[in-house]
Structure 1
């Protein structure tokens, strides 16, 4: 099966969503489009310590702030996320630098494809 492409409108929406979360004070440690090959889907992973208490409030904050991205494509994860633990131990991305990675193994976690907007510890 051919991999679903990550198209520019999704990339732009991901950046805009990260900007929105920054404006409303959600402390985002990681933000990336991550490809799940088993379901052939891209998901915008948002890593924040606030996800540990539950994600419902994070989705509600995003809606109240006027998020335009399809929230069904957004997945909030806490700092214990295996993807976050693996990637944050080897890369650091801030500001407006994006890192694209494909077919890589990081600390036992396989990354088929990802576009990282932010990854901090």
Structure 2
């Protein structure tokens, strides 16, 4: 992406990728754009049970395979995709936040917050399961 601003096109393309991954059977459980201020870039963080069952290499292989087939072409740099375990500390913290406060983070923006001892400068959350 290369900019500090997450634009609607990237949010829409992220959703299209998540939908395509789910249709392909990858089962994305949690997904969010996360801004990394030290790199001045956004990363699309995705979780799937495949990560814990078959490892990161298999997960990335599946994601990239689907990524290349989405039409029209996605306006996302594939190098900005991050696959993590559903047990990732940030994901667990967001899950707990939803549960403790009885709220849904679906489609929400999270800025300048601490989540499970992780500082979140900015994030756009598609879903947390």
Q: Deviations over 1:70-103 (max 9, x none)?
A: 3111100002211111111112648xx4011100
- Measured after TM superposition, the shift of residue 63 of structure 1 is 3.6
The aligned counterpart of 1:5 is 5
Superposition TM-score, scaled by structure 2 size? 0.79
What residue in structure 2 maps to residue 37 of structure 1?
37
User: Partner of 1:111 in structure 2?
Assistant: 120
Tell me which protein shows more strand as a share of its residues.
Answer: 1
For residues 21 and 37 of structure 1, the distance between their equivalents in structure 2, rounded to whole angstroms, comes to 27
C-alpha displacement of 1:118: 0.7
Q: Could you say if the C-alpha distance between residues 93 and 15 of structure 1 is closer, same or farther in structure 2, counting changes exceeding 3 Å?
A: farther
* Structure-2 change in CA distance of 1:93 and 1:20 (3 Å): farther
Residue correspondences, number: 116
Q: Quick check: 49-58 or 10-19, which moved more?
A: 49-58
Match of 1:58 in 2: 59
1:24 aligned partner: 24
Contact 2:89 2:116 in 1 (8 A): no
Unaligned runs of 5+ in 1: none
In 1, the alpha carbon distance for the partners of 2:95 and 2:88 equals 10
Say which is worse superposed, 56-65 or 71-80, in terms of deviation: 56-65
Q: CA RMSD in A?
A: 1.9
